[in-house]
Every structure is written in C-alpha cells, then in structure tokens.
Amino acid sequence: MTALQIVFFIVAVVTIFAGLMAVTVGNLVHAALWLILSLFGVALSFGLLSAGFLAVAQVIVYIGAIAILIIFAIMLTRRVATDIGSQINSGWPWAAVIAFVLCGGLIWMLREWPGFSTLPPQMSARADSLSMLGMALVSPNAYVIPFEVASVLLLAALIGAIIIAWERK
C-alpha cells in the first residue's frame, strides 16, 4: 500500500463510521456532530481527487451552513430530540436489510463494468481545474444557464422557507 492509499483508507473508514453513528446514535445533537465529521471526510476525499474547490465549498456549504441549520432546527424542536425513548423505528431490521442489499447489489453490478478498476489518468500540468470550473460556470457555451437556474432555485427555496416557517398570529 502506498501512502496515498493508506490516507484514503483512513478517510473512508472514518467517514463511514461517522455516517453510521449519525444515523444510529440516540441524541440528535450528537448525530449532527457525527454528520459534521462525515461531511469533513467527504471534503478530504474531494481533496484526494484533486478537486480543491469542491473540498473548500463542501466545508463552507455543508459544514458551515447546512450542518449549522440542522443543529438550529434540533434546538428549536428540542423537547422531541430528547424526550422520546428510541429514535429508531420498530421496522429497522428491514431498513438494514434493504441498505445491505442495495450496497451489495451496487458493488456486484459495478464489478461487471469493465472500467471498475481504472487508475487515474495523469492530470496535464497546465490544466487548472479551478479556472476551468470558473470558466465553465459563466461561459455561454458551457453551463451558464444551469448555473443561473440553480441560483434562482436557491433564492426561491430560501424565500419559500421564510414564508413556510413564518409564525402567523
């Protein structure tokens, strides 16, 4: 094993363990903190895939915004988070079976695919993925329309969230 493989292995194990804790632990605030660790592991994986911008965006958007939003929502509904005994459905074995079958099925299906064990191609030295991404997001020949649609969707969703959560007297 090379050093890179060992780093990937540690990151993957920590991320999946944190994800498992996030979906099983009883206290919801702890679940949110485990979620943060898991999201951080995914950010590190983006770094390993040489997508530096996405790693930074993952930390800012997911850990900085989404996880904090989830923690605030847990605090606003605090009584529920602590008072009921079990946080898990009575039908959880079925959920575990479905998750296992899905994971195994995905891996089994992917093993049939010839590109399964591709090694990463060498990134050409002058190709800068950050400036390529920046150009692609604003160039009319590339993805400016999806980018604008995504920003309008985000604006609409935020206004909608304010209206839904508004307290009517």
Partner 1 sequence: MIPLSWYLIFSAALFSTGLFGVLARKNAIAIIIGIELMLNAVNLNLVAFWRYITPDAITGQVFAVIVFAVAAAEVAVGLALIISIYRRRNTIIAEEIDMLKF
Work out the burial of residue 120: count CB atoms within 10 Å of its CB; fewer than 13 is exposed, 13-18 middle, 19 or more buried.
Answer: exposed
> CA 139, CA 145: separation in Å to the nearest integer?
9
Examine residue 37 and tell whether it contacts partner 1 (CB under 8 A): no
Examine residue 161 and tell whether it contacts partner 1 (CB under 8 A): yes
CB of 99: closest distance to partner 1 in angstroms? 4
Examine residue 89 and tell whether it contacts partner 1 (CB under 8 A): yes
> CA 47, CA 16: separation in Å to the nearest integer?
17
CB of 163: closest distance to partner 1 in angstroms? 8
Single-letter code of the amino acid located at 160:
G
Select the residue interacting with partner 1 from 10, 56, 59, 81 (CB under 8 A): 81
Examine residue 99 and tell whether it contacts partner 1 (CB under 8 A): yes
Examine residue 87 and tell whether it contacts partner 1 (CB under 8 A): yes
Q: Kindly tell me which of 120 and 140 has the beta carbon lying closer to partner 1.
A: 120
Helices 144-165, 129-138: inter-axial angle, 10-degree rounding: 80
